[in-house]
Amino acid sequence: MDAGRKSLLMAYVLWAFLGWTGAHRFYLGRPGSAMLMLGLSVVSMVLMIVMVGILGYAIVLCWWIHDGVFLPAILRQQRVREFFDSRAVGSRKSISTLGLVWFVGFLHFNAFMIFLLGRFGPEPVEALASPWTWHAAVVMALTAIGRLVLYPRLGSFLAIVAAAWGMAVALPIVMPDAPAAKDSGPESRLRIVSFNVLVGNEPTREAIEWLRASDADILAVPECTTRWDEGIRQLGRWPHAVVGVDDTGPGGIALYSRFPLRDGAVRTAPDAYFRHAEAVVIAPGGEVRVFAVHPPPPMGRQLTAARNTEMRWLASQVAASDLPVIVAGDFNETPFGRTFASFVDASLLQPLAAVAYPVGTWPARWQDIDLSPLIAIPIDHVFASRHFTPIAFEVGPSVGSDHRPIVADVRWVYPAPAPLSSPNP
């Protein structure tokens, strides 16, 4: 059946009920993109076992919405193509250019939808879309420029406006001011390392050697297991520790210190899924309260609510502390998310890791393949109270886990500033 006889109503019926399979695209004579849509849906379904499939489902959802908006235009474009093909007139180059413009516009639309959902979507959707804000902004900028070059019409200029909006949101986060502080001696310096070691992942020689070379004063280890605890203790670098291992799930947490600890404990916040470790570190520069944390990933409404509740509780504990505070771990949240901003505002902490964006920490690898940190998202963080000034920050290499470790150097501010807030009466 040629495009002139195809029904827009039937296309919408297929789109509504079988859109994820690309049925409407098969119907409209787009078998290539239809197979791609179907393949992406199937692959995303399989990859849900490692949570990476969520990104694929998000792309399919944006694609599905895009097609629902532009089905009439797709049908018209197909009729134009068949008109030229049937009469063997016109320039095939112009038809190819039209297809390229459409493809570039499709990429831009999907990136723009991810950007909008990350900014204004409801809580569970925002939690999944906001981590990809920087990636979406980059795609929006590149495709807007490409569309403007290929097809300088009103739609292309609107794409430029959307891309400028995306960059205006993302750039202040991914390009913050670099820390100006200088290291003034070992007694004033603290090095904090956070490394989610991935439950079920055996400690490798590469990972243990990296930890040895990290020269950390404080080490936070989410998803810590018995084997990892044994491997870290054998290094002899951190004689003081608060450890709660979990060999069956991701609930393990550990806090190791080169300096003595007091009031150490592994606790569970109200309505939290995973435990956290906390202690007062008696460092040469003074005492500091340290939290090693691991809020749950935002996989659905319930887990998203649990993560946000735990971060609100943690912010209240930090704001009530009469000591300097450091919080490190896997937060399952990026600086582009609303929960991240709320945590910073409520806790009055400064995110030290921001100096490294857009280099991400997760996923560090897929199967046995190391992934570039440029395509990862930054969900591992170190926060510090204003008693500290950042010196440096670094994202470490892929050493076997699905997370890359992070290293933050800070120095004490002397004299110490006034307390951030009054302790609870």
Band of the pLDDT at 93, cuts 50, 70, 90?
very low
In this prediction, residue 319 carries a pLDDT of 93
Number of structural domains in the chain: 2
371 and 234, same domain (yes or no): yes
- Is residue 82, in this structure, part of any structural domain at all? yes
- Is residue 417, in this structure, part of any structural domain at all? no
Checking if the pLDDT of 203 tops 90, the result is yes
Q: Which two tokens stand for residue 85?
A: 């093909």
324 and 298, same domain (yes or no): yes
85 and 209, same domain (yes or no): no
Q: Which residues span the domain enclosing 401?
A: 186-412
In this prediction, residue 229 carries a pLDDT of 97
Checking if the pLDDT of 175 tops 70, the result is no
48 and 152, same domain (yes or no): yes
**Which residue type does 292 have?**
A
9 and 64, same domain (yes or no): yes
In this prediction, residue 358 carries a pLDDT of 55
In this prediction, residue 46 carries a pLDDT of 61
Checking if the pLDDT of 85 tops 80, the result is no
Which one, of 247, 195, 221, 172, lies nearest residue 362 by Cα?
Answer: 195
Q: Bigger pLDDT: 359 or 5? A: 359
Checking if the pLDDT of 51 tops 60, the result is no
Q: Are 363 and 385 within 8 A, CB to CB?
A: no
Portion of the chain with pLDDT greater than 70, in percent: 84
284 and 378, same domain (yes or no): yes
In this prediction, residue 185 carries a pLDDT of 55
Q: How far apart are CA 131 and CA 126, in angstroms?
A: 9
pTM of full prediction above 0.75: yes
97 and 234, same domain (yes or no): no
Checking if the pLDDT of 12 tops 80, the result is yes
190 and 169, same domain (yes or no): no
Checking if the pLDDT of 181 tops 70, the result is no
159 and 261, same domain (yes or no): no
Q: What is the CATH number of the domain that holds 319?
A: 3.60.10.10
Write out the E strands in 245-343: 253-257, 261-267, 276-283, 286-293, 325-330
- Is residue 421, in this structure, part of any structural domain at all? no
* Segment among 98-102, 276-280, 297-301, 391-395 with least mean pLDDT: 98-102
Q: How far apart are CA 84 and CA 103, in angstroms?
A: 20
Q: Which two tokens stand for residue 310?
A: 């735990």
164 and 192, same domain (yes or no): no
Checking if the pLDDT of 90 tops 60, the result is no
Q: How far apart are CA 336 and CA 114, in angstroms?
A: 12
